[in-house]
Amino acid sequence: MVSGLRLFLMTATGIWFGLFLLGQAAFAVDLGDKEKGRKLFKLCKHCHQIGQGAKNRIGPHLNLLFGRKAASIDGFRYSKGIKRAAAGGLEWHADTLSAYLENPKNLVSGTRMNFVGMKDLDQRMDLIAYLRLFSDNPADIPEADPTVSDAGHDLDPAILALKGDPDYGDYLSGECTACHQTSGQDDGVPSIVAWPEDDFVRAMHAYKKQVRQHPVMQMIAGRLSDDEIASLAAFFANIKE
Question: Over the stretch 194-230, which tens digit does the pLDDT of each residue have?
Answer: 888 988 898 898 888 887 777 788 899 999 999 999 9
End-to-end CA distance of the chain: 22
pLDDT value at residue 137:
59
Residue 17 lies in a domain: no
Neighbours of 103 (CB within 10 A): 20
For residue 84, being part of any structural domain is answered with yes
User: Are 161 and 116 members of one domain?
Assistant: no
Range of the domain at 194: 157-237
Same domain, 131 and 193: no
The pLDDT score that the predictor gives to residue 15 is 42
Q: Which of 140, 172, 189 is the last residue of a domain?
A: 140
Residues 164 and 95 occupy one common structural domain: no
Query: Could you give the count of Cα atoms lying within 13 Å of 77 in the half-sphere of its Cβ?
Result: 3
203 shares a domain with 115:
no
Residue 5 resides in a domain = no
Mean pLDDT of 7-17: 45
| Helix runs in the chain, H state only | 4-23, 34-40, 80-87, 94-102, 104-107, 121-132, 157-160, 166-172, 174-177, 197-208, 215-222, 226-237
As a dihedral over the C-alpha atoms of residue 203, residue 204, residue 210, residue 214, rounded to 10 degrees, the angle is 80
Task: Report the 10 Å Cβ neighbour count for 183.
Answer: 12
Tell me, yes or no, whether 147 lies in a domain: no
The total number of structural domains in the chain stands at 2
Residue 4 pLDDT class (50, 70, 90 cuts):
low
- For residue 217, tell me if it sits in a domain: yes
User: 79 in a domain, yes or no?
Assistant: yes
Q: Are residues 119 and 205 in the same domain?
A: no
Q: Could you read off the pLDDT of 126-153 as tens digits, one per residue?
A: 999 899 888 865 545 444 443 434 444 5
Point out the domain boundary residue: 140, 174, 206. Answer: 140
Q: For 226, list phi and psi in degrees, rounded to 5.
A: -60, -40
Cα R_g (the chain), whole angstroms: 18
- Structural domain contains residue 19: no
Looking at the structure, do residues 71 and 130 belong to the same domain, yes or no? yes
The answer on pLDDT for 29 being more than 70 is no
Q: Specify whether 98 is located in the same domain as 186.
A: no
Q: What is the CATH number of the domain that holds 54?
A: 1.10.760.10
**Domain match, 111 and 206 both:** no
- Is position 229 within any domain? yes
Q: Do residues 111 and 34 both lie within one domain?
A: yes
134 shares a domain with 200: no
